């Protein structure tokens, strides 16, 4: 959260760093009065959500992202510049304090069902169907809602799996699917600690026991998100190990592994070829047998930088490194359900006045599609044709004193 974020709670100025923050939020909730984010002169209504049993947080009201100042953490770029635009009102329905998600993948299965085979893609996300969120679309949505598409220089060195997990769980706290809380189906392993290895194993065993095959009725599946440590050949099929659970491999059936290496060849190549700081994120559905062994059924992969910002190509990564090295503030655009052939903004600078959409162009045909996006957007644009060097970035927004805005 930006240190500059200021709210009014029950009419009083307040920030999350105030000692009475939780007390004030509780009073406002009981009184039915919404806090306001004061990133603009008029302020914008927010709502109060709960994480865990009692911790209260302030969240952006659905549909209000554009009302916030570009430098505010509640600001989001126009949805039409990413894959989000086609999903709002269809796969994603926002209603006051709750968001309903329609998923293109199952969170339960028949006891006799096997992992998807044949023509079905493993969490493919290649379809642009706006009525259902694919695995990749769901991962992108939670990642963006958790704030990990946003970057300001003050965030340097402050992100790790503990932080990522905490904010992903918070992002899911007000989401439902098929009338049930999405958080009930999420499994994000806690950070690994060798000194707590037995305790963590016991907790994981309880989670897997809750979905273990009983041989009766439908089986629950969990929606797994984690960072991949390795994918190797096992005694039977393949196995995938997460950084957070180095002592617990997830079984990866051969047919799923084969389709994974085909469908996600780009992500796997970026992970293998890039520097050691590049991370590979997996999202997928898992089941567990009576012995507590987990098997992957569907999956999607996403590469992220050492700052946990997603990217999908080498030029994408070059641009992100360029922005961070120059201490710029920006929001990364994500593809969601969009096919890789569709054009979208690479990112949006949030430290310019107004915000500036950044585009990467490769080839004349792609340039035509980008030009259409630029023509339809109200934001000024910056375009990098990947042939020449990167052009100069737009100037920073300045304060009245002439210094750049502190975020």
What are the CB-based long-range contacts (under 8 Å, 24+) for 259-265? 259/121, 259/122, 260/122, 260/299, 260/301, 263/121, 263/122, 263/124, 263/126, 264/300, 264/301
Q: What pLDDT does residue 403 have?
A: 31
**Using one digit for the tens of pLDDT, what is the confidence trace for 53-110?**
678 888 888 778 878 888 888 888 888 899 999 999 899 998 767 899 999 999 998 7
Give the residue-averaged pLDDT of 25-50.
92
| For residues 333-351, average pLDDT | 92
Q: What percent of the chain has pLDDT over 90?
A: 67
The DSSP call for residue 103 is: B
Model confidence band, residue 281 (pLDDT cutoffs 50, 70, 90): very high
| pLDDT greater than 70 at residue 118 | no
Residues 6+ apart with CB under 8 A from 133: 87, 91, 92, 101, 102, 103, 104, 141, 336, 337
Q: Of the given ranges (163-167, 254-258, 362-366, 367-371), which has the lowest mean pLDDT?
A: 362-366
Q: Given a cut of 60, is residue 128 above it in pLDDT?
A: no
Which has the minimum average pLDDT: 11-20, 149-158, 322-331, 362-371? 362-371
Q: How far does Cα 358 stand from its chain's mean position?
A: 20
Q: How far is CA 101 from the centre of its chain?
A: 15
Residue 287 reports pLDDT greater than 80: yes
Q: Which of 143, 181, 226 is nearest to 50 (CA)?
A: 181
Q: In the chain, pLDDT over 70 holds for what percent of residues?
A: 91
Find the range with the poorest average confidence among 172-186, 246-260, 386-400: 386-400
Which tokens belong to 113?
A: 């069902």
Instruction: With residue 262 as reference, give the H or E element that holds it.
Output: helix 254-263
Is residue 126 over pLDDT 50? no
Higher pLDDT, 204 or 214: 204
Residues in the chain: 407
Question: Average model confidence (pLDDT) for the chain?
Answer: 88
Identify the sign of the CA torsion 307, 312, 313, 319.
Answer: negative
> At residue 376, does pLDDT exceed 70?
yes
**DSSP β-ladder status, 44-51 and 55-60:** antiparallel
pLDDT of residue 181: 94
- Does 60 or 394 have the greater pLDDT score? 394
Say what the pLDDT of residue 112 is. Answer: 55
| DSSP 8-state assignment for residue 405 | P
Between the CA of residue 28 and those of 33, 49, 93, 99, 319, what are the distances in Å? 5, 12, 26, 22, 42
Residue 111 banded pLDDT, cuts 50, 70, 90: low
In degrees rounded to 5, what are phi and psi of residue 125? 65, 15
Helix, strand, coil percentages for the chain (3-state, nearest 5): 25, 30, 45
| pLDDT at position 115 over 80 | no
- What pLDDT shows up at residue 404? 34
pTM: 0.87
Residue 142 φ/ψ, nearest 5 degrees: -65, -40
Longest dimension (CA), the chain: 70
Q: Average of pLDDT values for 182-197? A: 96
Q: pLDDT confidence of 328, banded at 50, 70, 90?
A: very high
pLDDT value for 402: 33
Measure the CA–CA gap between 276 and 272, rounded to whole angstroms: 9
Is residue 113 over pLDDT 70?
Answer: no
Domain boundaries, the chain: 1-75, 311-385
SS3 track for 200-247:
HHHHHHHHHHHCECCCCCEEECEEEEEEEEEEEECCCCEEEEECCEEE
The reported pLDDT for the residue numbered 123 is: 40
Higher per-residue confidence, 118 vs 8: 8
CA distance linking residue 133 with residue 124, whole number of Å: 11
Name the residue among 317, 297, 294, 298 with its Cα closest to residue 307: 317
pLDDT band for position 52 (cuts 50, 70, 90): low
Higher pLDDT, 273 or 31: 31
């Amino acid at each position: 959260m930006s240190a500059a974020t200021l709210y009014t709670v029950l009419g009083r100025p307040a920030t999350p760093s105030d000692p009475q923050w939780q007390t004030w939020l509780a009073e406002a909730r009981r009184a039915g009065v919404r806090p306001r984010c004061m990133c603009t002169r008029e302020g914008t209504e927010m709502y109060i959500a709960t994480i865990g049993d009692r911790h209260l947080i302030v969240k952006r009201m659905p549909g209000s992202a554009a009302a916030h100042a570009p430098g505010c953490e509640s600001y989001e770029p126009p949805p039409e510049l990413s894959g989000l635009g086609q999903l709002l009102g269809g796969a994603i329905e926002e209603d006051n304090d709750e968001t309903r998600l329609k998923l293109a993948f199952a969170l339960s299965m028949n006891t006799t069902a096997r992992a998807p085979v044949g023509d079905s893609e493993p969490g493919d996300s290649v379809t642009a169907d706006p009525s259902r969120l694919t695995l990749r679309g769901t991962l992108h949505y939670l990642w963006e809602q958790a704030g990990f598409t946003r970057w300001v220089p003050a965030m340097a060195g402050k992100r790790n799996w503990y932080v990522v997990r905490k904010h992903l769980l918070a992002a899911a706290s007000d989401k439902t699917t098929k009338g049930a809380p999405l958080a009930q189906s999420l499994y994000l392993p806690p950070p690994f600690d060798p000194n707590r290895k037995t305790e963590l194993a016991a907790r994981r065993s309880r989670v897997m026991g809750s979905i273990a095959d009983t041989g009766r009725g439908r089986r629950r599946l969990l929606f797994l998100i984690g960072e991949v440590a390795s994918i190797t050949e096992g005694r039977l099929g393949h196995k995938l190990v997460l950084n957070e659970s180095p002592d617990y491999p997830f079984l990866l059936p051969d047919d799923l592994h084969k389709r994974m290496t085909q469908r996600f060849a780009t992500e796997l190549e970026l992970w293998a070829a890039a520097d050691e700081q590049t991370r590979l994120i997996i999202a997928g559905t898992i089941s567990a047998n009576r012995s507590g062994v987990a098997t992957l059924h569907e999956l999607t992969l996403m590469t992220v930088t050492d700052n946990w910002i997603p990217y999908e190509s080498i030029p994408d990564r070059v641009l992100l490194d360029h922005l961070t090295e120059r201490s710029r503030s920006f929001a990364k655009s994500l593809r969601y359900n969009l096919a890789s052939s569709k054009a979208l903004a690479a990112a949006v600078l949030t430290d310019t006045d107004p915000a500036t959409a950044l585009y990467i162009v490769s080839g004349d045909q792609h340039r035509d599609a980008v030009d259409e996006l630029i023509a339809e957007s109200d934001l000024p644009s910056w375009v990098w044709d990947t042939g020449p060097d990167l052009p100069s970035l737009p100037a920073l927004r300045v304060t009245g004193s002439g210094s750049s805005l502190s975020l």
